Every structure is written in C-alpha cells, then in structure tokens.
Amino acid sequence: MDDLKQKAAEKAVALVEPGMVVGLGEGSTALWALRAIARKLADGSLHDIVGVPCSNNYERIARELGIPLTTLEDCDHIDLTIDGADEVDPQLNLIKGGGGALLREKIVAQASRREIIIVDGSKLSPVLGTKWHVPIEVVPFGWGSQRRFLESLGARVTLRQNKTGSNFITDQGNFILDSHFGLIHDPAALAATLSARAGIVEHGLFVGLTSQLIVATSE
C-alpha cells in the first residue's frame, strides 16, 4: 500500500513547477508528496517554491525536510494543492478529515487554483459513506447539542478521542464528531445542512473542489 501511495504522490509532484505556491495536504499519502518535493528541492530539479501546510504537524515536518513555507496572509492564492482523501465518489466528491485537519484542508482547497487529490484504489467508492464516516469539527461549547442535531439527521455519532482516552483536539482547539450517515446520495445537500448549523465549524464533505484525481492501483 505504501508503494501505491508513493507512486500517486510522485505523479502529483511532477505537476509542481518552479515559482509555484503549493498547498501541502495532510495524511499518509500526502506525506509521500512532502518527501518527493523535498527530494526534488535537494537535487535542484525543483526550485523557488513555497508551501502552505494544512496542519501544525505537517508544518513541522515540512520545515524538517527543508521545504520553504508561507501563509495565506502573505500570498493571494495557491497554485496547486496536493492532498489525500478518505473516500472518493465518481463525481470526485470527497470525505476528508480522518487526520483531523479538515478545516485547514478546506481553507487551503478553496484558495487553490488546482486541487490534486492522490489516493490508492481502496479509497474509491460508488457512493460516499460506503466506507467512511463524515468527520465534523464542532466548537467545544454546546457540543452535545451538535451531537443531538446530527443524530436527528440519522447519523450515528462518536466523539473522537485519542488513544489515551482524552478528547481529540484539532489545531483550532475544537472537537470532532465522527458521524456515520450511511450512504450519502446527495452530498451537496448534506453539506449545505451541516454548514448552516451554528457550532459546526466545518465538515469533511468536500464537494466540487477536486480538480484532478490520481489513483494508484496494483494494475
């Protein structure tokens, strides 16, 4: 599986050109892209790029790898973002947020001229919700009311926790409610319902944001 992820990442990194601002996605597949960018910078085949990381953790990793970084305060757009996904449907709608960085990932995606999604073949589904739940980031205040709201929509909801049993906290200091809706036949409608709810900061449905999908399979 790592070999497939690496191949998808390297295919995407081949699209990065000198002078670009590059969105640096979160997750195990996106990590391969970080490493590939760092190698190309080190050997001189890529130069004059800056990255915008989607999480504190990947900001740290990018710095350790020697990738120059910037922020959305210092640049007015991102040329190309390379990110992964937890699930992809035939219309290139996504579920993201398994790593907990969905809010920053969506901010970066919306600021990007091209959003390149890299996955292995196991992430493809005929309908979103077939394999994955929807992570929903909520403010800690009143999070129980958000849980009841999501349950009223038919979801089975779990407050995400760390391995130690403590509540998972996002980079913005919020909670994540992992919400199992079952098959999501109209992701745009569900996304609009979730976005309209006060207290829901962001959700893991990425609708209409993907420019290109790169899939690595054993074939």
pLDDT higher than threshold 90 for residue 2: no
Catalytic residue among 10, 105, 115, 137: 105
pLDDT higher than threshold 80 for residue 203: yes
CB distance 22 to 82 below 8 Å: yes
CA 117/CA 206 separation, integer angstroms: 11
CA 108/CA 78 separation, integer angstroms: 8
CA 211/CA 79 separation, integer angstroms: 12
Q: Is 115 a catalytic residue?
A: no
Residue 168 half-sphere exposure toward CB, CA atoms < 13 A: 20
What pLDDT, in 10s, does the model give residues 135-190? Answer: 999 999 999 999 999 999 999 999 999 999 999 999 999 999 999 999 999 999 99
Pairing of strands 200-203, 87-88: unpaired
Q: What are the two backbone dihedrals, phi and then psi, of residue 62, each rounded to the nearest 5 degrees?
A: -60, -40
pLDDT higher than threshold 80 for residue 55: yes
> Hey, what domains does the chain have and what are their CATH numbers?
2-121+208-216 (3.40.50.1360), 134-202 (3.30.70.260)
CA 119/CA 110 separation, integer angstroms: 20
**Could you tell me the two tokens for 90?**
């035939």
Residue 65, helix vs strand vs coil: helix
pLDDT higher than threshold 90 for residue 218: no
**Could you tell me the two tokens for 31?**
């990590």
The DSSP secondary structure of 31-43, one letter per residue, reads HHHHHHHHHHHHH
Which pLDDT does position 19 carry in this prediction? 96
Residue where the block lists tokens 């199992």: 180
What pLDDT, in 10s, does the model give residues 72-126? Answer: 999 999 999 999 999 999 999 999 999 999 999 999 999 999 999 999 999 999 9
Give the pTM: 0.95
**Bridge partners, 213 (sequence order):** 117
Which residues, 6+ apart, have CB-to-CB distance to 155 below 8 Å?
134, 179, 180, 181
